[in-house]
Amino acid sequence: MSHDQDDPTLHPEVQMSTSQGYFSGFAISSILMLAATFLVTSHAVPPFGLLMVISACAGMAIIAQIYFLLHIDVSEHNIWNTVALVLFIPLFLITIGLTWWMFSQLYLHTMIMPGMTH
């Protein structure tokens, strides 16, 4: 550990955080989650549409949280954010994509079509 005790509040990632940003991130993701819950419990949309709408809500919530709460961007002074994104995006695509693929194949072979039976 070195002697230079630099002020942690001067770090760029701390400078970027504002209470307004945190509150908007919290509000946006809460609204999106409540909307998705309402749509599911009220059966307002047919099943396949519901799947699409809540997936879209989840996607928007992820973007809002990454932007407002985690302050992840591709700027020069926060290079580790870019590293985190480079690590995260392929893993995200792999897990969601392969899960989608294996379950669509499973339903094809077992003739279960969730959301199609109504």
Partner 1 sequence: MLVDLAGGWNPMWGRLAWSQIPYDNPILAPLFVAVVVGAILVLGLITYYGKWTYLWKEWLTTVDHKKLGVMYILIGLVMLFRGFIDGLMIRTQQAWAVGAHSSGVFGATHGYLTPFHFGQIYSAHGVIMILLAATPLLVGFMNIIVPIQIGARDMAYPYLNALGLWLTAAAGALIMISLFVGDFAHNGWFGYAPIFELQYSPGVGVDYWIWTMELVALGTTLGGINILATIIKMRAPGMTWGRLPIFVWATLSANVIALTSFPALQVALALIAADRYLGAHFFTAGLGGNLMLYTNLFWIWGHPEVYFVILPAFGMMSEIFPTFSEKPLFGYITMVLASMAIAGVSWLVWLHHFFTMGAGPYVNSAFSVATMLVGIPTGVKVFNWAFTMYRGRLTFNTAMLWAIGALFLLLIGGLTGMMLAVPAINYMVHNSVFVVAHFHTMLLVIVYAIFASVIYWFPKVFGFKLDEFWAKTMFWLFSAGTVLVFVPMYMLGFMGMTRRLDYVFNTVWHPYLLVMEFGIAVYMLSVLAFVALLYVSIRDHAKNQVGADAWGTSRSLEWLTHSPVPFYNFAVLPHISARDEVAWRRDNGIDHVQPDHYEDIHMPNNTGVAIILGGLTFVLGFALVWRIWWLCALSLLAIVALVIYRSFKGDPGYIITAAEVEKMEKEALRREAQISK
- Which residues form the interface with partner 1 (CB under 8 A)? 1-3, 5, 87-88, 91, 94-95, 98-99, 101-103, 105-106, 108-110, 114
Closer CB to partner 1, 20 or 41, in the complex: 41
How many C-beta neighbours within 10 Å does residue 93 have?
10
Dihedral (CA of 115, 45, 36, 95) sign: positive
State in angstroms the smallest separation of the CB of 4 from partner 1: 10
Closer CB to partner 1, 34 or 108, in the complex: 108
State in angstroms the smallest separation of the CB of 52 from partner 1: 15
Closer CB to partner 1, 16 or 94, in the complex: 94
State in angstroms the smallest separation of the CB of 96 from partner 1: 10
Q: What are phi and psi of 97, to 5 degrees?
A: -65, -50
Burial of 66 (0-12, 13-18, 19+ CB in 10 A): middle
Closer CB to partner 1, 2 or 20, in the complex: 2
Q: Which of these, 28, 29, 67, 33, lies nearest to 53 by C-alpha position?
A: 33
State in angstroms the smallest separation of the CB of 37 from partner 1: 11
